[in-house]
Chain A
Amino acid sequence: MANLFRTFSIGLVVVASGLQAGTFAQTTSPGGWLTPDWGMPAITTATRKPAPRRNLEGTWAPFGRFGGGTQAGGVQAKPNNGRPENQLPYTPFGLALYKSHKALEGADAVKPADGNDPRNLCEPLGMPRTNHYNLGLTQIFQDDHKVAVLYQYDNRWRVIWTDGRQLPTLVDGGVELGGELREQRLFGYSVGRWVDDYTFEARTIGTMSEDRAWLDSTGRPISDQVRVTETFKRIGLDEMEWSETIDDPKVYSKPWETMKFTMRLHDPRTDIMEYYCSPIDQANYNKVFANTVSK
């Protein structure tokens, strides 16, 4: 852990002092605590700067206005709004699973007190839902061995190994690693590689079972047999495309793309406010508001 944070610190210094120098007009906020700048001008062909090679580091957020990565209505590429083009290729098991979920968002939303979203118990989102729940300011650090992604929501982070190790073998109840059955993980087991100098591909397996995890806030399901493939494509100094495809034969009859965000680089000095789920706060909120409005 200490090494990881040392790596983060080194990465931060590198980013702050070199790669991004002169990119940001924002200077200081009171006390030097920079707040996110949601008013950065659009990038044009004339203003686009070349992307650094094999580098994802920085503080990123979905392009445009604040809140662009919310996905309250379902994963970005397929919102759960009842439109035919957004219907998902459920297997019979997947459809039954979806119907068992009582979501607070989407086409089949229920009132707050009637929901059964594990998130409302402050259950960690895990992969891949962490990419589909209020994707906000996201910090990425890397070294010769790994890429680390730090999410704003719930101060969660995950590691994508880039040192050449192979993905474990996905088996029932977990993964096989070196001849041993290893446990399922909230954020799974991830490895990544550079497809070319500007395109990084990450693959993840070994996530939690379907009774612990949802795909999105509208109750779309995901199982522990899912294989998640993410692509981070650096298209400029200030821009990166982040896409995700899931292949979950237990729940969906074919792979499908869940998101394709264009991310905008923010000032690396930006102070990111906490945004978390606290069981105490959640209980208080339910008592004061949610339970009453659900009557």
Chain B
Amino acid sequence: MRRWSVITLAVAVGLVTPWVAFAHHGGAAFDNGKTAVLKGTVVEWIYSNPHCLLRLDVKGEDGKVVQWIAEGQAPNVIFPGGYRKDTFKVGDVVTVTVEPVKNNEPMGRILQTVLANGKVLGRASSAGSDEAIQRR
């Protein structure tokens, strides 16, 4: 099992924004109820359908760098939450809270983002439907 030495694994309840459960990839791959807080350097930000993808280099306590891929919803879904095509720039140091996948690959879906300037995304208008909230 990969060691997420730089991340805090915590129970998600009350900690992060409810996920917007927009259909098309489902939640079966994610470890529901857990979160991982990643502080890392942006490598790539793909602002595209069906999902936006953020590549992030995260350095562990052992000094090793692990590249994470954090998934966001489609542009129109995350737009109200403040995510734009230029939200992440290569080299930015950001903190991203994700719900990790079950199989311990360094992947997850974005629950919240703290940008380099301290701005928090995902807390307000990423709020999902009641249905989505009920699922969490």
Q: Which stretch (A2-10, A64-72, A182-190, A228-236) binds chain B?
A: A64-72
Q: Do the beta carbons of B107 and A72 come within 8 Å of each other?
A: no
Give every chain A residue within 8 A of B25 (Cβ-Cβ).
104, 112, 290
* Number of interface residues, chain B, beta carbon within 8 A: 37
B103 CB to closest chain A CB, in angstroms? 5
Overall SS of chain A's interface? loop
Rounded to whole angstroms, the CA-CA distance of A223 and B29 in the bound complex is 29
> By the criterion CB–CB under 8 Å, are B50 and A282 in contact?
yes
Neighbour of B80 across the interface among A38, A104, A109, A275, CB < 8 A: A38
How many residues of A are in contact with the other chain, CB < 8 A?
48
Question: Contact string, B7-38, partner A, CB cutoff 8 A, digits 1/0?
Answer: 00000000000001111111111100000000
The answer to whether B101 touches A293 (Cβ under 8 A) is yes
Residues of B within 8 A of A112 (CB): 25-26, 28-29
CB atoms of B79 and A273 under 8 A apart: yes
Q: Determine whether A94 belongs to the interface, using a CB cutoff of 8 Å to chain B.
A: no
Residue in B29, B75, B127, B128 whose CB lies within 8 Å of A293: B29
Q: Which of B101-136 contact A (CB under 8 A)?
A: 101, 103, 105, 107, 125, 127-132, 135
Alpha-carbon separation in the docked complex, A120 to B71 (Å): 17
Q: B87: CB under 8 A from chain A?
A: no
CB closest chain-A residue, reference B44: A288
Q: Which of A64, A76, A285 has the most CB of B within 10 A?
A: A285
Q: Report the minimum CB–CB distance from A261 to chain B (whole Å).
A: 11
How far apart sit A12 and B21, CA to CA, in the bound complex (Å)?
32
In this complex, which of B22, B29, B30, B101 has the most chain A Cβ atoms within 10 angstroms of its Cβ?
B29
A35 at the interface (CB under 8 A from B): yes
**B107 cross-chain contacts in A, Cβ below 8 A:** 289, 292-293
Contact A292 B105, CB 8 Å, known A67-B20, A112-B29: yes
Inter-subunit contact B50/A281 (CB<8 Å): yes
User: For B94, what are the chain A residues with a Cβ–Cβ distance below 8 Å?
Assistant: none
Q: Using a CB-CB cutoff of 8 Å, which residues 109-161 of chain A contact chain B?
A: 109-112, 115, 119-120, 133-134, 136, 152
- B5 at interface, CB cutoff 8 A: no
Nearest B residue (CB) for A122? B50
CB-defined A-B contacts under 8 Å, sample of 20: A35-B80, A64-B129, A67-B132, A70-B23, A70-B128, A70-B131, A72-B22, A81-B135, A104-B23, A105-B26, A133-B23, A136-B76, A277-B49, A281-B48, A284-B48, A285-B48, A285-B50, A288-B69, A289-B51, A290-B25
Q: Give me 11 other A-B pairs in contact (C-beta within 8 A), A133-B23, A281-B50 excluded.
A: A72-B26, A73-B135, A76-B131, A103-B26, A104-B28, A273-B79, A274-B49, A288-B46, A288-B69, A290-B29, A293-B30
